[in-house]
Amino acid sequence: DLSADPMLRATLVALADEEHVLVLTVHHIAADGWSLDVLVDEFAQLYTSIGQGQPPQLPALPIQYADYALWQQAQAPVLVDGLAWWSAQLSGAPDLSTLPGDRPRPTRMSGQGANLRSELPAALMARVRGFCHAHDVTPFMLLEAVLALLVARYSDQHDVVIGTPVAGRLHREVEPLIGCFVNNLALRTQLAPTMPFEALLRATRATVIDAYGEQAVPFDKVVERLQVERSLGHSPLFQILFTLQNTPQRRLQLPGLRIEGIAHAAQTSKYDLELTAWEHEGALRLSWQYATVLFDAQSIEQVARHYAALLEAVLDAPATPVFALPMMDAQEHARWDAWNATARDYPRERCVHALFRQQAQRTPQALAVTDGTRQLSYAALDAWSDRAAQALRAQGVGPGRVVGLHVGRSLEQVVGVLAILKAGGAYLPLEPDHPDARLAYMCGDSEVEQVLTVTALVERGRALAPWTLCLDDTQALSSWPDVAPDAEEDSRQLAYLIYTSGSTGQPKGVRVPHRGVVNYLDHARGYLQPHHQGAVMGTPLSFDATVTTLFVPLLAGRCLVLLPTEAAALFGGLGHYLFEDGRDWLFKLTPAHLDGVFAAHGGGDSAMQRRHCLVIGGEQLTKATVARWQRERLPLATYVNEYGPTETVVGCAVYTVRGPQDLQRGGHAVAIGRPIQNTSLYVRNALDHPVPVGAVGELCIGGDGVTEGYQRLEAQTAARFRMHRLHDGRSERLYHSGDLVRCGRDGELEYLGRRDAQVKLRGYRIELGEIESRLREDPRVSDAVALLQGEGERRRIVAFVASAVPAEEHAALCTALQQSLARTLAEYMRPSALGVLAQLPLTGNGKVDRAALPLLEAADAAAYRAPITPTELALAQLWQELLERDAPVGADDNFFRLGGHSLLATRMVLAVNQR
């Protein structure tokens, strides 16, 4: 209690007759680091005088701290220019500049901390001093520049703010005073990955000199001027503090006594990280005080090692681009090599259709495929696809030729896929529900001359290609023999072509060879356990995730179940096989499928015993979704989070959840895990250099699953598929995914979002998935999606939830959800508006169709709740006056979001007390 407790408390502890410990406790508001030296000097003078029998006397002080406080207040008009400089210097700076944490940032920091010590040896510091002399900089400038670069390298940010304290005693009269004169400076570093370190150091030098010139401006005035949004989850403007103590701390010396200082490791941390450095016998000792709610000790140990390594690299080659400077050691590279040691034998020279034919010969009478009303044995499926393949061969189809498949999910679709592969061609899915223009573009781009279709779609098929064959025309097919065509088997030839959305507005085709597909299927066969009947297919063929449920059962002699295309029937079918069928199956689903089925089907006691395998991909999978399924639907099921772009064949990384213990890793999302067989995963920065464990970077993928590239897009192929020289001298072709990830110390990868579409708002990097995960925790919410809407200053987060609550309860639901989010999310992450829908719109691939969501034009009005109580009415009127605001103030509005700052907040408190 600052109003009642003493600012200085002294405690003398007697350990023995001639051994004592003196503990001095002083509040920072009453004394800073400089003051402690003054206190030590004055204590020594008084002790000596008393010990010598002289009256205790200290030199008279020229002024008191109160005089300084009055003088500082009078300087406000003089500081206008300095305040303008700080405002310009920090305008647009990120609100968060810190290292990626081991755990999500809480809404309120606990203040708990721990300390780690490291040391830069004297030989290295001798080089530092020589380097600084040669480049006309101080050691502080060099050390701060390296720290800012380290944060940039770890966080993949190019704009970093580091804080540093200054003594604030700019006048001789205040030097002997005890008080808090210290001021914090926010040093901003803006860099480009290709910038030579020498250029970064020059920029840092200029920033530090200018900042020291404006150090008289109090930090809180800078924060107020910038209207920084306050948060209990982090300190304003900077979260990392760097201090270089370049003056030796005075030691207490008393006559007749031997005095030793007792090291005290504080268990608190005011910031995410406080780095304090001081010289000792030529070396530089470093104290890393860190927030334990964010970081583990092992992570800070690694950061300390990389700081030293980066400093050495800078001294060795200062002209090197900053993101190319090495900081990882051989042991770290070896750890990555171990995680990427995924070599495994598989039939790499075989093609998919040849493996199916082998299985058909082993189990000819087994049930191969059914749509619920019709079914085919392996022998019948083999024969039907043979006849269609013969017809295609007669049309000149062979290796390198692309054949369109214009059929919905049906027996004919499965027949068509096998027929095209048997003929030596590559299949191109042409979904019936896609626009004519899109299908025509795809056929033209891939030079399709043949299309397999069905009678109901034949006219549309004829518009796409010169030649069509109806797979349900038994008369046309009966003239062809039911024997496999004589086609050469080459696993390097194209298996299928799938078009994904392109940045130019036109879709781009991904060319996928057999070898990569066979490698993936050899891995995926592990999903299908002996107790599984087969697989249930409910996704479109144009969604490459369908490869899993289409081929895995057919290469294992199991049954493939085809679900209807129409949404209601699809979810009904999924619910039947998940909860009512009584047998175990393999499913390939998206998170949106899981949420939709969860809302539509209650499960049941019998379903609780099902041991399905649910492979989930396409979108980020949250822990909340899996935990809810484990708890309330399928506790014995295996949940596989499978990550993989189309460019690397369906899935290249997996993380398996078999029980609640597998959801204990940090973060709100399920990890994407480790590479599958014959696959290597690397995390790279903007200059294609490796990033360490825990750092953010782009996921680059190598191995047998990497596809040929894009159809007729040589420049894009060259940009995304590149040869890399690895640390051991080997070269490997890697696909640059554009996905931001980080790797945990256990080797498991975490997906963070897209590099080219990062969600940032007011300088914050925001994970929309975390907001969605929190919304789904409400039992009334079956699904949720968060997104940004609006432009410029009106850009804001909004969220939609799917719920079955009646319309008259929507407002109450939104209020409850906002209150729940206020308890779990930082203020900057909370949606400014919520919308309630009966169900979220989905694309054909089962992903949430964000483009189909309505604009919340009335977001502000929808979020507005009129003040009702006398207190609410009085505060609303007061806020309108203080903020000079015409629009009404709502009962749930945020003072700082409406333009308030700390000075206005003080005026508000005074006004409240007066009223």
Mean local confidence (pLDDT), 895-910? 64
Express each pLDDT in 109-130 by its tens digit. Answer: 999 999 999 999 999 999 999 9
Mean local confidence (pLDDT), 312-326? 98
Q: Which architecture, in CATH terms, is 65-97+107-247+267-326? A: 2-Layer Sandwich (3.30)
Q: What residues does CATH 1.10.1200.10 cover in the chain?
A: 870-914
Output the CA torsion sign for 464, 468, 470, 471. Answer: negative
Q: Among 464-473, 644-653, 739-748, 843-852, which stretch is predicted with the lowest mean pLDDT? A: 843-852
Mean pLDDT of the chain: 90
Output the CA torsion sign for 259, 265, 270, 272. Answer: positive
C-alpha 825: how far from its chain's center?
16
Q: Among 269-283, 502-516, 633-647, 800-814, which stretch is predicted with the lowest mean pLDDT? A: 502-516
Exposure pattern of 715-741 as b/e (b: 16+ CB <10 Å)? Answer: eebeebbeebebeeeeebebbbbebbb
Query: What is the pLDDT at residue 422?
Result: 98
Express each pLDDT in 629-643 by its tens digit. Answer: 999 999 999 999 999
Percentage of the chain lying above the pLDDT 70 cut = 94
d(CA 257, CA 200): 50
Exposure pattern of 100-109 as b/e (b: 16+ CB <10 Å)? Answer: bbbebbbbeb
- Token readout for 898 is 């409406």
Q: Among 175-189, 301-315, 485-499, which stretch is predicted with the lowest mean pLDDT? A: 175-189
- Compute the C-alpha angle 55/60/64, nearest 5°: 130
Express each pLDDT in 181-190 by its tens digit. Answer: 889 999 999 9
Query: What is the pLDDT at residue 862?
Result: 41
| Extended beta strands in 577-621, E state | 584-589, 613-616
Express each pLDDT in 417-463 by its tens digit. Answer: 999 999 999 999 999 988 888 899 999 999 999 999 999 999 999 99
Answer left, alpha or beta for residue 111, where phi above 0 means left and psi between -120 and 50 means alpha: left
- Token readout for 553 is 């059962």
Percentage of the chain lying above the pLDDT 90 cut = 63
Question: pLDDT class for 375, splitting at 50, 70, 90?
Answer: very high
Strand partners, 429: 405
- Compute the C-alpha angle 395/401/406, nearest 5°: 80
Query: What is the pLDDT at residue 793?
Result: 47
Cβ contact 682:690 at 8 Å: yes
Answer left, alpha or beta for residue 282, where phi above 0 means left and psi between -120 and 50 means alpha: left
Query: What is the pLDDT at residue 644?
Result: 95
C-alpha 828: how far from its chain's center?
16
Question: pLDDT class for 903, splitting at 50, 70, 90?
Answer: low
On the question of pLDDT at 93 being above 70, the answer is: yes
Cβ contact 672:656 at 8 Å: no
Query: What is the pLDDT at residue 387?
Result: 98
Question: Cα-Cα-Cα-Cα dihedral of 101, 102, 107, 113, to 10°?
Answer: -90
Strand partners, 161: 188
| pTM beyond 0.85 | no
Q: What residues does CATH 3.40.50.980 cover in the chain?
A: 350-517
- Compute the C-alpha angle 444/445/446, nearest 5°: 95
Q: What residues does CATH 3.30.559.30 cover in the chain?
A: 65-97+107-247+267-326
Query: What is the pLDDT at residue 205?
Result: 98
In sequence order, what are the residues at sequence separation of 6 or more whose Cβ sits closer than 8 angstroms to the Cβ of residue 756?
738
Mean local confidence (pLDDT), 368-375? 96
Query: What is the pLDDT at residue 763?
Result: 45
Cβ contact 825:770 at 8 Å: yes
d(CA 553, CA 529): 11
For the domain bounded by 760-863, which CATH number is listed? 3.30.300.30
Query: What is the pLDDT at residue 27?
Result: 80
- Token readout for 871 is 């207190």
**What amino acid occupies position 467?**
W
Express each pLDDT in 821-850 by its tens digit. Answer: 877 775 667 888 899 998 888 876 777 888
In sequence order, what are the residues at sequence separation of 6 or more whose Cβ sits closer than 8 angstroms to the Cβ of residue 654?
640, 641, 642, 643, 672, 673, 674, 676
- Compute the C-alpha angle 712/717/718, nearest 5°: 125
Question: pLDDT class for 861, splitting at 50, 70, 90?
Answer: very low
Mean local confidence (pLDDT), 23-43? 82
Strand partners, 185: 164
- Token readout for 229 is 């949004």
Residue 727's nearest CA partner among 156, 324, 310, 330 is 330
**What amino acid occupies position 126?**
A
Question: pLDDT class for 761, splitting at 50, 70, 90?
Answer: low
Cβ contact 169:198 at 8 Å: no
CA distances from 341 to 149, 336, 676 (A): 31, 9, 10
Mean local confidence (pLDDT), 730-745? 95
Query: What is the pLDDT at residue 906?
Result: 56
Of 32-36, 184-188, 263-267, which has the strongest mean pLDDT?
184-188
Question: pLDDT class for 860, splitting at 50, 70, 90?
Answer: very low
What DSSP character marks residue 87?
H
Output the CA torsion sign for 679, 684, 687, 689. Answer: negative
d(CA 98, CA 162): 9
Q: From the CA atom positions of the chain, what is the Rg in Å?
A: 33
More reliable by pLDDT, 754 or 130: 130
Query: What is the pLDDT at residue 455?
Result: 98
Cβ contact 271:241 at 8 Å: yes
CATH class of 350-517: alpha beta
Number of H helices, E strands in the chain: 26, 34
Q: Look at strands 283-291 and 375-377 and give their pairing.
A: unpaired
Cβ contact 427:496 at 8 Å: yes
Cβ neighbours, 10 Å, residue 743 = 25
**What amino acid occupies position 451?**
V
- Side-chain half-sphere CA neighbours of 383 within 13 A: 12
Q: Which single residue is written with the structure tokens 């009129």?
A: 866
CATH class of 870-914: mainly alpha
Strand partners, 785: 800
Cβ contact 647:711 at 8 Å: no
Mean local confidence (pLDDT), 577-582? 94
